């Protein structure tokens, strides 16, 4: 094993990105922020895009900042990001336009059109992936239906983190954990599911080879090295490129009695399993199987997370009312409990503008008192999300036969002590929060494994347990949460 090394982790999220420096000293990890930048969809001509070139310029700025501060080359660079979205390249490797956002309207009604050709049961049995209109499969089929010219010109499809790895190194491949988010991957064959793609007219030729997590794909392009001031070659590494897989990899003390919650714009709640669960019961309960950093799977449920409240805050900021998350948590702690509840995944709340108005309309439809103050809106979001987690925990225990005593929360939501306590109270089990920067830490850990600084994931998690501080929230039993759960079940959409 190598003694010590420092790595650059690029962590791209749907609302922002970070360039982080992570050091492993043969026993501990130390993470520091180098550069942070916002990310959001860009609306133009009736479509919603990602500004990937703008994001790439921010990544390069982060590399330059790293060099200015350290004057040395890192031992590796890895990139993780969100799933399902993709870019298309032509035969010469040129980008065919800006990638579209998963919330773009082009997939409206496409799920039903796919099910007219392939049954939902057959699709789930083949891929283990929950059918959601945002998935790569449905995005591509919308292009088939529209006879989109880009699809005919395309030579290669790359998911978002794989696109950035291509910008970095020139490698055209899709990493395993990202491939499993597309609903085009066959767990049984460990390859693309051609039997699904062919009936839909999706060209298998555009899908590149699939890389295992922790693969050194080559060196950073010379032009990037020179432009950012680096004088030595730097390995480019395909980490567990899906940010959820990186985040779960960085959770210390995960065991068979623990469930994870990756909490941010989306919440992803699940357990680690060796083999995917493609049963009809898992499909009916709306679970999905995504790849893990260890090469196994994460049996999880995708849940609309803090996006409801984030959208409210963004709307209010446009009106000149800017609140910090500290303000939000304080207001929530003093607001009336259980005024109104929702299933965060209700379609009536999946809007792109004026979320406060959408919530008021939803409450009117469901005969509940609408939130009015900051604290009431915050409690509406926090309590509803906590009750959703309670429902998902029960479903996970049913699917796995396990007793889940501990919920381990990572990501931005782990910093929200008010929410974490609500989750413990709602679910009646221990909640352990942290690390908040789990995706970046998992990215760094996979680089350390790929370069020989660590032997395996188990050794990495042991080092992380010595490196990060976590907070424990014990449940406070209350009849009020049980009554609220009964109300929530009446509102639940799945």
Active centre residues (catalytic): 243
How far from the centroid of its chain's Cα atoms is residue 77's Cα?
20
DSSP string, 70-112: H-S--S-EEEEB-SS-EEEE-TTS-B-SPPBPTTSGGGTTHHH
Structure tokens that stand for 6 in this block: 């420092």
Structure tokens at 396: 């996970």
Contacts of 431 (CB under 8 A, 6+ apart): 406, 407, 408, 409, 420, 421, 423, 424, 472, 473, 475
Which residue matches tokens 């999220």? 13
- Strand spans (E) along 104-177: 156-159, 174-175
Q: Annotate 422-454 with DSSP letters as a single string.
A: HHHHHHTSEEEE--TTHHHHHHHHHHHHHTTSS
Nearest to 90 by CA among 3, 163, 150: 150
Residues with Cβ within 8 Å of 197's Cβ and at least 6 positions away in sequence, in order, are: 184, 203, 204, 207
Instruction: Give the contacts of 85 (CB within 8 A, at least 6 positions apart).
Output: 50, 99, 100, 101, 102, 136, 139, 159, 160
What does the CA dihedral 294, 391, 436, 378 come to, rounded to 10 degrees? 160
CA distances from 205 to 1, 91, 137, 155, 322 (A): 40, 11, 15, 7, 48
Torsion angles phi and psi, residue 358, rounded to 5: -65, -40
- Nearest CA to 248 out of 216, 211, 296 is that of 296
3 state SS of 243: helix
- Closest Cα to residue 314, out of 333, 328, 303? 328
CA distances (Å), 240 to each of 54, 82, 130, 294, 316, in order? 23, 11, 20, 9, 36
Q: Look at the block and give the residue holding tokens 């066959």.
A: 186
8 A C-beta contact, residue 133 and residue 108: yes
């Amino acid at each position: 094993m190598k003694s010590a090394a420092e790595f650059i982790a690029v962590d791209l999220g749907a609302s922002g990105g970070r360039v982080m420096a992570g050091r492993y000293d043969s026993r501990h990890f130390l993470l520091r922020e180098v550069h942070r930048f916002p990310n959001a969809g860009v609306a133009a001509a009736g479509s919603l895009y990602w500004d990937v070139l703008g994001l790439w310029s921010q990544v390069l700025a982060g590399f330059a900042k790293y060099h200015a501060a350290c004057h040395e080359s890192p031992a590796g660079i890895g990139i993780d990001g969100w799933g399902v979205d993709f870019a298309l390249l032509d035969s010469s490797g040129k980008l065919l336009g800006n990638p579209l956002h998963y919330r773009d309207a082009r997939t409206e009604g496409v799920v039903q059109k796919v099910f007219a050709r392939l049954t939902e049961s057959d699709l789930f049995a083949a891929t283990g992936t929950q059918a959601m209109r945002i998935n790569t499969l449905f995005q591509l089929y919308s292009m088939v239906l529209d006879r989109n010219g880009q699809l005919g010109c395309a030579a290669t499809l790359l998911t978002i983190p794989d696109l950035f790895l291509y910008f970095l190194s020139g490698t055209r491949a899709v990493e395993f954990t990202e491939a499993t988010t597309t609903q085009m991957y066959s767990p049984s064959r460990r390859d693309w599911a051609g039997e699904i793609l062919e009936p839909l007219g999706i060209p298998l030729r555009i899908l590149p080879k699939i890389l295992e997590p922790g693969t050194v794909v080559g060196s950073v392009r010379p032009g990037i090295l020179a432009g950012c001031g680096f004088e030595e070659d730097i390995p480019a590494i395909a980490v567990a490129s899906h940010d959820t897989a990186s985040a779960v990899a960085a959770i210390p003390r995960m065991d068979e009695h623990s469930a994870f919650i990756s909490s941010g714009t989306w919440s992803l709640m699940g357990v680690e399993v060796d083999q995917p669960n493609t049963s009809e019961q898992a499909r009916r309960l709306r679970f999905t199987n995504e790849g893990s950093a260890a090469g196994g799977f994460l049996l999880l449920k995708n849940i609309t997370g803090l996006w409801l409240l984030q959208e409210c805050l963004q709307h209010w900021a446009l009106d000149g009312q800017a609140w910090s998350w500290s303000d939000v948590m304080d207001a929530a702690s003093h607001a009336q409990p259980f005024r109104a509840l929702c299933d965060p995944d209700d379609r009536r709340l999946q809007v792109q503008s004026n979320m406060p108005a959408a919530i008021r309309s939803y409450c009117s439809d469901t005969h509940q008192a609408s939130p009015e103050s900051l604290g009431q809106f915050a409690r509406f979001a926090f309590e509803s999300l906590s009750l959703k987690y309670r429902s998902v925990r029960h479903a996970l225990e049913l699917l796995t036969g396990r007793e889940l005593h501990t919920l381990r929360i990572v990501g931005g939501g782990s910093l929200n002590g008010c929410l974490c306590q609500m989750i413990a109270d709602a679910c009646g089990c221990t909640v352990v929060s942290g690390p908040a920067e789990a995706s970046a830490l998992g990215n760094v850990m996979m680089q350390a494994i790929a370069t020989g600084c660590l032997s395996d994931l188990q050794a990495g998690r042991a080092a992380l347990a010595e490196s990060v501080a976590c907070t424990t929230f014990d449940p406070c039993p209350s009849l009020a949460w049980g009554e609220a759960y009964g109300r929530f079940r009446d509102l639940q959409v799945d």
